[in-house]
Structure 1
Amino acid sequence: MAKARVRHLTLRILLAKPLSYWQLLKHIDVDIPTTQAVLKELLEEGILEYQNDVFLLTSKGKEEAKKLGLISFSSLKCPYCQGKTINIATFKHLLNVFEELITGRPKAISEYDQGYVMPTDTVARVLFMYELGDIEGKHIFLLGDDDLTSLALLASGWPKQVTVLEIDERILNFIEQKAISKGWTNLNVIHYDARYPIPEKLRNRFDVFLTDPVETVGGLRLFLSRCVEALKGKDSVGYFGLTHLEASRRKWHQVQRDILNMGFTITDIIRNFHTYLLERDDILNLQLRVAKEAPVKVERPEIDFYTSNLFRIYAAESPRPLVEGKVDWKRELYYDEEAYVTCPY
């Protein structure tokens, strides 16, 4: 059970040292509502206490951990790549160029559920694709690009063509102006709302897609279906992110069923590949459920706690969309019962 896992992970993590609410969320790979419920139970049982903005084990909690045979947790994650499997040192120049390119980028807005990942993560994603042979000479399709991955792709010089479909015209204009300033001519940007089918001229044209979809089941299905429409067919590849904070394992199960039903197989899942640079003040100011429904009174996050996992999927057969035609969804595209960091309005 997910609740048992949260309990287990919380005890072993706190055996090592006290942690804040936000630090615990980053360490526990279970959805936010389940984690909140278990932390509340542990406090009520006297296994945890909350002092000076951190959770710590009580003597009862330490005894409980001992009974379960738990030892103090020590991470074995590679200190160089932080578990991404990619060391960007060889291409440090690409990171430098990308960081210069994104200076003055548009501010993320909640209307479109935007949130930027760390620049190092964007470049690492491009290098991960390079490692697997998914960039050089390829036609690449991006559905949404608030991370500005298109600029990192273009800066690498590897893709044949990069096409960005994005609903936020601020982002499209920013990307286009940067490409013009660099003299890059292999970019195509299109203002697009995912509730509508992709333009006919883009169908069956691309080798690889990238998207960072909304995390409702319907939204994920829609975004992946639109991307499928753009792919050439069998042996095409797709990349997308999925969290554990706003996606329970039940949701993961449904997403993976959808992936299989579309004709894909999952080749890679890299945990916590992306760390999001959310507007920390917004967490409290917008009364997001992650803070509003926390089991203790929390302050502004002191760390970037929101992460997502990188998926790579491969079309083992001719891929097929599960959603076709126009859909009439509104806010339900972005928001469901597991949306605790997504703005509800």
Structure 2
Amino acid sequence: MERDGVERLLAEAGPDSRRLRHALTLLCDAQWWTLADLVRETATSRRTIETLLRELPLERKGDAFRIPLTHTNDYQDLLALAPPPEDPVAHLLPHYASELTRLKDLVARAPRARHVLDHVSATPETILRRALLLGARFWLPGTRLLCVGDHDLTSLAVKLIHPETDVTVVDIDERILAYIDAQRLGVRTRWADLRLGLPASARDHDLALTDPPYTPEGTGLFVARAAEALTDNGRILLAYGASERTPMLAFKVQQALADLNLAYEAIYPDFNRYFGAEAIGSAADMYILRPTTKTRPAVTSRLSRQTTTIYTQGPQSVESAHNALTAPQEAIQDFDPDLLVGEWPKDLTQPRVRLSTWLSKPYAATLDRVAVALPLGLEAALPRILLATRASHVRVVGSDLPPLPDVLSTVYKLSAGGDVLDAVRLPQPPGDAASVLRRILDNGHAKLANTWREALIAVARTQGSALTKNEARTLIAEAAPWSEGLTPLDAPLHRLSALPEAVTTTISALTTTT
């Protein structure tokens, strides 16, 4: 029997050899395994599994393999006799077979992962177990849950299992927000680039759940935003994983959590499983964190020194050499702006504000010309940057600027050339529907439904009719039930694009109402 290599690996791993022994047990159980499935089942890094496989006599069938039945007895004394750590909600899974079937379909049809956002999809079983863990650990009826990023669609699992829970999602990916809304399960969606801020409507939640980029910078930011969103007695559920080969990376991430002065209430090992992420064993632990009285000051301090480079890949990766934020002075030589937004050369004398400040609150002074430096990787914020001001002329400087939604043509005449976009404000449009829409978009920081309500009342008055606030609210709720609590700046683009038709519907209904 040739098993010296296996025994050597087990000896080198010491107490952590249970991972290898678990993999060995599975390979000796007559089942066929692919590499990805074995990595995910054992929550062990691909590199470690590959090291074990090189020492074993394997038979193969396509991409699958196993230890031949004639050799399994050779390894019986090396196997792990006990299962991995107990799953706290495994006993509940058989009761939710139909929900799991639906979640499998939802995950299969979801938008593809975007590597520049460090997307890795959790398995349907994982998002179901997250929903079950929430229900087993907390009282959910009436509870407000915020999903801080939700490429995994945990929000949909929670609404399927606990429909009485109030669930909101904040995400930078417009595709995910549109997909979640299309399921009509009652999840509220908000656009946010967490590097630039958290929408006001995403605050005052009881629970927050996040599966962030697995860098210290990314995890620290997402958890800080989660803490910012919580009430005083809230909890944060964090999915985070690292390879058993890289304890120093896990330490750095936990240091970022420690800097936020959070208490650890529980850690469930390998609770989350993924399609991909084989470098970390396609698995991540589930942390339950509780803010302390020292958390809010720590969060404020952490966010005050926020960097935009938080991912492992793409132009905003931590190691990227292409993330310089300073815009070239030549781009505004003929522009003479009143205000600079973002990072510009220090020798420019105009007043300046951060991008995050620009998006978080209206700028107090009256502005004619504004120059905005938009870093590579933050292009999704472009429509909101334009909606954040009433300036006559906005010049945006950045690379790979994306096309803008048609709804912005109500506000601006747009012209682009090279790395520069000029947006010149249009005069007020004629017509009741166009004027109401323009009034909404001119108040980017205000609650959309409130501006809409006052605009409808004003239109009714010009028609010689009286429209009460409650009547206006009813018209808006019927035409756009998703509008409550939204501002134009945190509305997903598919909601902004639906505004013209919805506004027209309310204008048409005025005659009947009044």
Q: Secondary structure at the match of 2:194?
A: coil
Measured in 2, the distance between the counterparts of 1:143 and 1:192 equals 9
2:67 maps to 1:88: no
The match for 1:263 is 261
Cα distance between partner residues in 1 of 2:17 and 2:151: 36
- Tell me, in whole angstroms, the C-alpha distance in 2 between the residues paired with 1:12 and 1:77: 11
CA deviation vs aligned residue, 1:17-57 (integer Å, no higher than 9, x gap):
46875566446666666x38x939x96xxxx356556698x
**Deviation per residue, 1:103-147 (Å, 9 max, x gap):** 632122323222222222211111111111152211111111111
One-letter amino acid of the structure 2 residue matched with residue 230 of structure 1: A
Counterpart for residue 286 of structure 1: none
Look up the match of 1:209: 208
Query: Deviation at 1:331?
Result: 4.7
Mark the CA change 1:86 to 1:14 in structure 2 (over 3 Å): closer, same or farther: closer
Q: State the alpha-carbon separation in 2 of the partners of residues 166 and 247 from structure 1.
A: 31
Residue matched to 2:283: 307
Name 1:4's counterpart in structure 2: 13
Mapped partners of 2:20, 2:310: distance in 1: 41
Residue 195 (structure 1) shift: 1.6
Letter of the structure 2 residue corresponding to residue 242 of structure 1: Y
Residues 209-242 of structure 1: CA deviation (Å, up to 9, x unaligned): 0110111111111111111111112x21011111
**Contact 1:150/1:164 (8 A) holds in 2:** yes
Greater alpha carbon shift after TM alignment, 15-24 vs 104-113: 15-24
**Which residue of the partner structure matches residue 293 of structure 1?**
none
Deviations 1:257-283 (A, max 9, x none): 4334323222222222222134xxxx9
The worse-fitting range, judged by mean Cα deviation, of 127-136 and 20-29 is: 20-29
Instruction: Give the secondary structure class of the aligned counterpart of 1:74.
Output: coil
Q: Secondary structure of the residue that 1:114 maps to in structure 2?
A: coil
Structure 1 residue 200: Cα displacement: 3.8
Q: Distance in 2 between matches of 1:249 and 1:142?
A: 27
TM-score (norm. length: structure 1): 0.68
Deviations 1:148-196 (Å, cap 9, x if unpaired)? 111222232121x2211111111101111212xx5x3xx3211221221
CA contact (8 A) 1:218 1:333 kept: no
CA shift for structure 1 position 88: 2.4
Q: Is the 8 A contact 1:245 1:306 kept in 2?
A: no
Which structure is richer in relative contact order (CA contacts within 8 A, separation 6 or more)? 1
Aligned with residue 243 of structure 1, among 236, 241, 244:
241
Whichever of the two has the greater Rg, that structure is 2
Q: In structure 1, what is the Cα distance between the partners aligned to 2:157 and 2:272?
A: 15
Where does residue 145 of structure 1 map in the other structure?
A: 150
Cα distance in 1 for partners of 2:91, 2:258 equals 27
1:297 aligns with: none
Q: Distance in 2 between matches of 1:6 and 1:21?
A: 23
- Residue identity matched to 1:175: I
| Aligned match of 2:303 | 324
Q: 1:196 to 1:82 in 2, by over 3 A?
A: same
**Counterpart code for 1:238:** I
Q: How far apart are the structure 2 equivalents of 1:213 and 1:166?
A: 11
CA contact (8 A) 1:194 1:226 kept: yes
Preserved CA contact (<8 Å) 1:196 1:327: no
For the Cα contact (< 8 Å) 2:269–2:284, is it kept in 1?
yes
- Structure 1 residues 91 and 103 mapped into 2: Cα distance closer, same or farther (>3 Å)? same
Q: Secondary structure at the match of 2:266?
A: strand
Distance, in Å, in 1 between the alignment partners of 2:106 and 2:22 is: 39
Which residue in the other structure is 1:229 paired with?
228
Distance 2:318 2:58 in 1: 32
Superposed CA deviations along residues 270-321 of structure 1, whole A, max 9, x for unmatched, are 222222134xxxx9xxxxx95xxxxxxxxxxxxx961222111122435332
The amino acid across from 1:111 in the alignment is: V
- Number of residue-to-residue matches in the alignment: 290
1:104 counterpart letter in structure 2: R
* Preserved CA contact (<8 Å) 1:135 1:158: yes
My pick for the range that moved more, 117-126 or 252-261, is: 252-261
d(CA) in 1 for partners of 2:66 and 2:106? 40
TM-score after normalising by structure 2: 0.48
Counterpart residue identity of residue 239, structure 1: L
Can you give the 5+ residue segments of structure 2 that lack an aligned partner in the other structure?
A: 1-10, 68-72, 320-376, 378-514
User: Are residue 109 (structure 1) and residue 114 (structure 2) matched?
Assistant: yes
Say whether 1:188 aligns with 2:188.
Answer: yes
Name the structure 2 match of 1:132: 137
State the distance in 2 between where 1:175 and 1:314 align: 28
Q: Does 1:157 align with 2:163?
A: yes
Identity %: 21
CA RMSD of aligned residues (A): 4.0
* 8 Å CA contact 1:86, 1:127 repeated in 2: no
SS at 2:129 equivalent: helix
Which one-letter code corresponds to 2:130 in the other structure?
R
1:85 and 1:227 mapped to 2: Cα distance? 27
> CA 1:5–1:25 in 2, change beyond 3 Å: closer, same or farther?
farther
SS in 2 for 1:253: helix
Unaligned runs of 5+ residues in structure 1 are: 57-61, 284-288, 291-303, 338-344
CA contact (8 A) 1:219 1:333 kept: no
Question: What secondary structure does 2:275 align onto?
Answer: coil
Letter in 1 for 2:286: L
**Equivalent position of 1:170 in the other structure:** 175
Q: Cα distance, 1:327 vs. partner?
A: 2.3
The letter of the residue matching 1:306 is: S
Q: Tell me if structure 2 keeps the 8 A contact 1:274–1:308.
A: yes
SS of equivalent to 1:323? helix
Corresponding residue for residue 501 of structure 2: none
Cα distance change on mapping 1:32 and 1:249 into 2, 3 Å = farther
Letter in 2 for 1:194: L
Alignment CA distance shift 1:5-1:170 (3 Å):
farther
